[in-house]
Amino acid sequence: MQIKGTVVHGKEMSRTLGYPTANLAYISPETLKKGMWACVVRLENDERVFRGVAVVGKWDQADGYPGIEVHLLDFSDDLYGKTLLVEPRVFLRDLFAFSQMQELVKQIQIDVQQTREKIALHE
């Protein structure tokens, strides 16, 4: 399955944790299991391929948040308005709440490490 979406502005909370995410505006987040995914990400009309950690599932329906946000590993350019092609490959874990930000950051570090181990880019 490949998800195609345009990067839109979010609350930029992940950026403050050191793991900026691209929030995608796309339809049918229900078609993919909610949780954390290791994935392969491509920018539309671009040959580069990146590993990514994606969060699938609506965080705040009242604010109209998109159904997926993805942190691209080893990437730092501006993505606003660009179209991404996200291919979830490995389900990492279910979503759960953290009582402290340090716990969340530690878990994100684990998610990133697992993604590096599980996704090869020699495609």
DSSP secondary structure of the chain:
--EEEEEE----HHHHTT---EEEE-S-GGGS-SEEEEEEEEETT---EEEEEEEES-S-GGGT--SEEEEETT--S--TT-EEEEEEEEEEE-----SSHHHHHHHHHHHHHHHHHH-----
**Number of folded domains in the chain?**
1
Q: What residue numbers bound the domain in which 98 lies?
A: 3-118
At residue 62, the pLDDT reads 46
Residue 7 lies in a domain: yes
Residue 88 lies in a domain: yes
Residue 123 lies in a domain: no
Predicted TM-score (pTM) of this structure:
0.83
At residue 32, the pLDDT reads 77
Residue 16 lies in a domain: yes
Residues (pLDDT < 70) of the chain are: 11-18, 26-31, 58-66, 122-123
At residue 18, the pLDDT reads 64
Q: How many CB atoms lie within 10 A of CB 110?
A: 13
**CATH number, domain at 29?**
2.40.30.30
